[in-house]
Amino acid sequence: MKVLGVLGSPRVGGNSDILLDEALAGAKDGGAQVEKIILAQRKISGCLDCDQCDETGVCAIKDDMTEIYEKILESDAIIHSVPVYFWSMTSQMKAYLDRWCAFFDANWRWHKHIYPRMREKGIAVITVCGDPDVHTADPVVSSFKNTAKFAKLRWIGAVQASAAAKGEIERDQRAKRSSYELGRKAAQKESMEP
């Protein structure tokens, strides 16, 4: 069992990074092998909608997504962690998510060679927003939840937290605990939420 953590904040050691580490600790304690990718430290361009991947399932852009695609395919579950930027996700996370396009054909079906490696894969998201109302991140959660539903991935769940200053989330025991539990759940293959 491999659990991949994907950090969408450029603030390494910040709030979503802290919660992602909690989740990965939970996954590790649940018996999974874990790995973290910090998107801001990689070069990831936006999708060009060039249609080349429709035929091949291979993205025409040659950047760090080439390696990340393989890590996605190898993992059993992916936990994303991202702060809210202007009522949406960060540009780093959005570029990464848009590049998932290469997994699908022109009819938005999994490419045949991709499907066996994506089937049953778990997907989860952790959000942090400066607003005290954690529901500010609902559109971000919807993006991931709808992606999971559309692609028939295994939805593990979401943790939504609030913090503004770097590292402030350290004081939020509930968010840390929930993230840890999310990670433990990601390490169980049968975990499923409607």
Residues 44-73 that bind ligand FMN (CB under 6 A): none
Residues 89-128 that bind ligand FMN (CB under 6 A): 128
Nearest distance in Å: CB 155, ligand FMN:
22
The reply on whether position 40 binds ligand FMN by CB under 6 A is no
- Between 92 and 191, CB nearer to ligand FMN: 92
- Between 72 and 137, CB nearer to ligand FMN: 137
Q: Site for ligand FMN (CB under 6 A): which residue of 97, 124, 125, 163? A: 163
Q: Site for ligand FMN (CB under 6 A): which residue of 5, 30, 57, 83? A: 83
Q: Are 127 and 159 in contact (CB under 8 A)?
A: yes
Polymer length in residues for the chain = 194
Residues that bind ligand FMN (CB under 6 A): 9, 11, 14-17, 83-87, 128-131, 136, 163-164, 166
